[in-house]
Structure 1
Amino acid sequence: MIILLFAALAVFIFLGLPIGLSLAGSSLIYILVSGHIPGLVVIHRMVGGVDSFPLLAVPFFILAGNLMNSTGITERIFGFATAVVGWMRGGLGHVNVGASVLFAGMSGAAVADAGGLGAIEIKAMRDAGYDTDFSIGITASSSTIGPLIPPSLPMVIYGVLASASIGQLFAAGMVPGLLMAAALMVMVAWYARKRGYTPANKFALRLLAHSFSRAFLSLITPLLIVGGILLGIFTPTEAAIAAVAWALFLGTVVYRNLSWKSFVAVSRESMETTVVILFVVASASIFSWILTENRVPEQFAHMISMTTDNKIAVLLLINLILFVVGCFMETVAAITILVPVLLPLAVGVGVDPVQFGVIMVLNLMIGLLTPPVGMVLYVLAKVSNVTFEQSARATMPFLVPLLIVLMLVTFVPQFSMWLPTALYR
């Protein structure tokens, strides 16, 4: 019956059905064929999968990110990043990474980064004479920083499923996110020397002061979100609501560039994205419940432990599974399905659930850059007016620094556990 479940899922995906419908449809087929589970269980389990207070953060963080993209906040962040690091060799490449770090503290979603900042970054780099493959590659890879630096939508979903502290998960992602940025900036420096890229501008205190004054209120957003959570002023869910309120305040009162028509369009886009994500969560919850009821996670863990109990080998195998799944499955669905399967295995070899959350999210973010399902590649192909294949080829070299960081986070727990231990334990 489990073989039937996975076979049905594979067929639906091959036929091109959305992942949410594929998960729900294969689960329904299993229930109907097995005959010992009432069909209404599908509905109850799907509703139960999204009936969670922390998941309220999802629509609000999506809305906050879309509001920031539509009110010029991303453009101001890009200008400030240009003043800070644009004077370095390969300046706009470093600006690309720096802007993604700043935007990461606001949206928590890689696709929002790629769709919002990506269009600005690629246009600026093309106008400055940078090669298209380099512009797309660094834009795609830097967008994956978003879900590591708090706030993070994947971390929220992982925390709900793993019963882990979302505050600790947010703290755990900070250092790995900055490590990703540093690794990508080293890659930019190498490309700049090899291809002769010049700085975007000379360092000037006047330019820095001007760009900082323009972006100051925008830059408060990550401090508002992360600082409020760390100081205990509000929960991650309430932080998402605060981010929306602040973005609305900036767009309507300060910058005054958010019209009613724009707000309606942003709200509609946010609702559509939210429905897609939560439907995937709901569908994956019934799928993972079937796996749990059939003790598939226990059997999988037992099979691995019978093969090897070496921690390094187990972690390498887990990363390989996550990497392969990330190539074919959307992040939210992969987290919802694989947490019940892989978390017990990781905990069994001594990995903290918070550290494992960082490993899983980072690995699946790399999956956003790999065909055939890499969503960031599709977004950048659209905004840069190139084919999906060109976008994929341009991004491949930038997987190297990201995979190196993944190995460091996997085998050196201090990178992810130092900050949550200092703040919460």
Structure 2
Amino acid sequence: MGAVVIGFLIMIFLGMPVAFAIGLSGTLFFFVTPDLPYAIVVQKVVSSTQSFTLLAIPLFIFAGNLMNNTGITEKLIKLANVLTGHMYGNLGQVSTVLSTLMGGVSGSANADAAMQCRVLGPSMNERGYKKGYSAAINGVTSLITATIPPSMGLIIYGSVGEVSIGRLFAAGIIPGLMMMVALMITVRYTARKKGYAPESLKKPTLKEIGAASIDSIWALMFPVILLVGIRLGILTPSESGAFAAVYAIFVGFFIYKKLNVKTFVKTVKDSIRDIGVIMILVSLSGIFGYGIVYDSIPQKMAEFLIGVTSNPLILLFIVILLLVFAGMFVETTVVALLLTPILLPVVTRVGIDPVQFGVIMMTIVTMGIMTPPVGIALYTTSNIMGCKPEETAKESVPFLIAIIAVVLVLILWKDLVLFLPNLLFGA
């Protein structure tokens, strides 16, 4: 397996697309391992996508794109603005609250970061916000979508690790809200220091909040319906994705009346592109994953790490350092696909709950989208805002510290993660 890893790193260094680097390096395993039939390569590409659970990914991507084109996002922005207009760094606060509300809509941190820069970026420039600061806020706050359901990362983790996606969805809510609070505090501190005054001098009235909430009720009800449907056994995670798409079409055509044939066709095209990128990663990682299992990498990794320490807390910190490093160099989906089958058996062997680990793992690896040298959202937000990635990375530091602080709390007090899953689905 060593030759495979070296081959993968060389191809990444040479600039090959990650999906093809994974597929080719995985195929290399069959050349260096005697007696393995090459037909398995093709079989694993196909079989990796033959999962009913994974069907949730394209369905939720389609639903998210539909909702972005049906006026739901616009309603959520108005609600976030009403809630935070009286705070320092008002537009930064809007970005934080919007990411929390959008978690149940987009499910993708990268998509959320790009959308918020396009929507909020011009207003931030007009209000005199530094471009790097604006890019940092819109990028880092998008990490909340890694936990608020329906998170694409949690679906992939649950599918690969055979962990209940319903429990993962429920487990992500409290950590997502904790990240929102931590980031709002950080925005207030940094904005006050930079002199970004509130847009409104008075707090919103209950009447104003109520009116904005009612206006956004169709978006706010979406994650609630999903969790209730899964909990009551009415919907599987994949069926909830299909429901989400139908729900978005219904709201777009009949409630907000902003979805027409032209917009629908554009949404389908955008969704096909987004789904293609993720599913080619999923299919080609099946080749790589076969080599991991064949060489007993999870068992060897478990023995090695437990040989270092059998203390669950220390072991979890070691694994998190590994994930931080991996997230800095490899895209989030790839990390989830490749490392979940390796690390999950290790942490469960020492008594760490797989649901708690899933929320922590996906938060940490998603953080990699805002860290150099391969932070996708770092470059995306910087490009949209028209600033250097170095400037964005520098402005991101206090916000990333806030995320890490939340992760530490989740490690030390696992009941914060497991309270809702145990309440809804039983201990």
Shorter-chain TM-score bucket reads over 0.9
Which amino acid counterpart does residue 345 of structure 2 have in structure 1? P
Shift of 1:424: 1.2
SS at match of 2:48: helix
Counterpart AA for 2:397 = M
Match of 1:114 in 2: 113
- The aligned length equals 424
Which TM-score applies when normalising by structure 2? 0.95
Q: Report the equivalent of 1:90.
A: 89
Contact kept? 2:105, 2:219, Cα under 8 Å: no
TM superposition shift of 1:210: 4.5
Report the 3-state secondary structure (helix = DSSP H, G, I; strand = E; otherwise coil) of the residue aligned with 1:105.
Answer: coil
- Aligned-partner SS, 1:368: helix
Corresponding residue of 1:282:
283
SS of the residue 2:105 aligns to = coil
Aligned residues of 2:108 and 2:146 also touching (Cα < 8 A):
yes
Name stretches of at least 5 consecutive residues in structure 2 with no aligned partner: none
CA distance in 2, matches of 1:212, 1:371: 38
Cα pair 1:224 1:243 within 8 Å, conserved: no
* Residue of structure 2 in register with 1:354 after alignment: 355
Give the CA deviation at 1:313: 2.1
Task: Call closer, same or farther: CA 1:234–1:386 in 2, change over 3 Å.
Answer: same
Q: Is the 8 A contact 1:156 1:166 kept in 2?
A: yes
Query: Counterpart amino acid of 1:36?
Result: D
Q: What is the deviation of 1:209?
A: 4.6
Change (3 A) 1:231 1:106: farther
Q: Is the 8 A contact 1:57 1:240 kept in 2?
A: yes
Give a deviation string over 1:283-330, Cα, whole Å, max 9, x none: 222212201111122112111222222222211110011011111111
Say whether the 8 Å CA contact 1:66–1:112 is kept in structure 2.
Answer: no
- Percent identity for Structure 1 against Structure 2: 36
**Residues 153-185 of structure 1: CA distance to partner in whole angstroms, max 9, x if unpaired?**
111111111111110111111111111111101
8 Å CA contact retained: 1:74, 1:103? yes
* Code of the aligned partner of 2:185: V
Residue identity opposite 2:168 in structure 1: L
Q: State the 1:207 CA deviation.
A: 4.3
Secondary structure at 1:145 match in 2: helix
Q: Aligned-pair distance for 1:76? A: 1.5
Q: Which residue of 1 aligns with 2:122?
A: 123
The CA distance in 1 between the partners of 2:387 and 2:252, in whole Å, is: 32
SS at 1:146 equivalent = helix
Rounded to whole Å, the distance in 1 between the matches of 2:204 and 2:323 is 45
SS at match of 1:253: helix
Q: State the secondary structure of the residue aligned to 1:144.
A: helix
Aligned to 1:264: 265
Query: TM (normalized to structure 1)?
Result: 0.95
1:17 partnered with 2:16: yes
Give the letter aligned to residue 39 of structure 1: Y
Q: Are the counterparts in 2 of residues 80 and 208 from structure 1 also a CA contact under 8 Å? A: yes
Instruction: Tell me the CA shift for residue 213 of structure 1.
Output: 4.2
Partner of 1:390: 391
Counterpart in 1 of 2:53? 54
Q: Cα–Cα, structure 1 residues 375 and 423, in superposed 2: closer, same or farther, change >3 Å?
A: same
Contact 2:147 2:359 in 1 (8 A): yes
Q: Distance in 1 between matches of 2:224 and 2:121?
A: 27
Per-residue CA deviations over 1:260-286 (Å, capped at 9, x if unaligned) read: 222222211111111111111122222
Displacement of 1:252 in angstroms is 2.1
**Contact 1:90-1:192 at 8 Å conserved across structures:** yes
**Matched residue, 2:197:** 198
Contact 1:75 1:117 in 2 (8 A): no
Whole-Å separation in 2 of the counterparts to 1:393 and 1:241: 41
Residue pairs, 1:161-180, within 5 angstroms: 161-180=160-179
> What is the aligned partner in structure 2 of residue 420 from structure 1?
421
In structure 1, the residue matched to 2:310 is: 309
Q: Could you tell me whether the CA contact under 8 Å between 1:381 and 1:391 is conserved in 2?
A: yes
Tell me how far apart the structure 2 counterparts of residues 154 and 142 of structure 1 sit (CA, whole Å): 16
Q: 2:77 maps to which residue?
A: 78
Is the contact made by 2:166 and 2:227 (CA closer than 8 Å) also made in structure 1?
A: no
CA distance in 2, matches of 1:336, 1:194: 41
- Distance in 1, Cα, partners of 2:103 & 2:168: 15
Q: Secondary structure at the match of 2:144?
A: coil
Q: In structure 2, what is the equivalent of residue 232 of structure 1?
A: 233
> 1:63 offset after TM fit, Å?
1.1
* Contact 2:59-2:241 within 8 A present in 1 as well: yes
Give the C-alpha shift of residue 111 in structure 1. 1.3
Deviation, structure 1 residue 223: 2.7
**1:55–1:237: 8 Å Cα contact kept in structure 2?**
yes
Residues 76 and 98, structure 2, Cα contact 8 Å, conserved in 1: yes
Matches of 1:274 and 1:11 in 2, distance apart? 27
Answering whether residue 143 of structure 2 is matched by residue 139 of structure 1, we say no
| Residue of structure 2 equivalent to 1:27 | 26
Q: Deviations over 1:379-404 (max 9, x none)?
A: 21232232333333332331100111
